[in-house]
Amino acid sequence: MKLFVTGGAGFIGSNFIRYWLKNYPEDSIVNFDKLTYAGNLENLSDIEANSHYTFVKGDICDAAAVNEAMKGSEVVVHFAAETHVDRSILSAAPFIQTNIVGTFVLLEAALAQNIKRFHHISTDEVFGALELGTSAKFNETTPYNPRSPYSASKASSDHLVRSYNITYGLPTTISNCSNNYGPYMFPEKLFALAITHLIEGQKVPVYGDGLYVRDWLYVEDHARAIDRILHDGKVGETYFIGGLVDDISNLDAIKTILKLMGKNEDMLEYVKDRPGHDRRYAVDWSKMQNELGWSPSVTLEEGLQKMIEWYKNNEPWWKSLLAKEKAYFETQYSS
């Protein structure tokens, strides 16, 4: 089988490609990536010589480039997106262009080339926010209620994908995942930011009171879930992928990192809150479990320990990224 993977040089995409080639060594993958600030070919340096792997630099908004690179593929796995909420607040335009227009271009190409499966990676953030202290969780029937330019652009892309299945018969599936974490996570995201700051002896910035709740999914568990959907998922269906059963606040998650790294809570630094910060996300992934036999295999503490060790052993990787984005980090996380 030949897969066309968009955004494969990013955090989740690169972990998926590595997982897929390890478990399906006879398959081939075309990695189509624009290499924005979040795309990094070093993420896949260990497999760049693999004869079953091809990298093509390109923009998913470029129809000619997409159509040429997609030729001969059977499956599209669409990761490529602008994803960082903070950056969408600073400038929404790239999110509209990449996440909406880019998805449209891919759908058109997939339709023209008779792709056998178009799998779209989305987020739980398109469903808005839940109240703290409740047992409510997002599921596949939850109404859309995006609250940031990022989540609004991803909601739009979900609707486009679904419409191409219903209107044109394109065989699509969608997965809405919770917050991923693990190796190769760009250091602007919470856990990677915390770990890299602590390695460098810096305090960890915490938005507001830190009591925001997220569902954390170890990135390899996410790859396993996509595997199940591609092999056994029903065309036209949406699947939720989460990593936790019980709520944990961002503050408590960071305190877990402090504990694992032998640091005290005086390494926390509370900073100005994000505008429109969603209070709580929680994901009901029972459909994945009941229909596809998937469940997360890595606990949060196990995953954080693995992640900490990876960042300790790969300082040149993340230090070069921090240096390139120094101005952004200094502006965004000033106390």
Catalytic residues: 124-125, 150
Q: Which residue type is seen at 28?
A: S
Report in angstroms the alpha-carbon separations of 25 from 17, 18, 115, 301, 316: 11, 10, 21, 31, 29
**Residue with tokens 């926010």, as numbered in its chain:** 129
Q: Strands of 116-237 (E only): list them.
A: 117-123, 172-177, 179-181, 204-207, 216-218
Contact (Cβ atoms closer than 8 angstroms) between residue 32 and residue 69: yes
Contact (Cβ atoms closer than 8 angstroms) between residue 71 and residue 110: no
DSSP 181-244: ESTT--TTSHHHHHHHHHHTTPPEEEETTS--B--EEEHHHHHHHHHHHHHHPPTT-EEEE---
How many C-beta atoms lie closer than 10 Å to residue 69's C-beta? 21
Structural tokens at position 310: 């990876």
What are the beta bridge partners of residue 174? 120, 238
Query: Which among 67, 71, 98 is positioned nearest to 82, based on CA atoms?
Result: 98
How many C-beta atoms lie closer than 10 Å to residue 330's C-beta? 9
Helix, strand, or coil (residue 248): coil
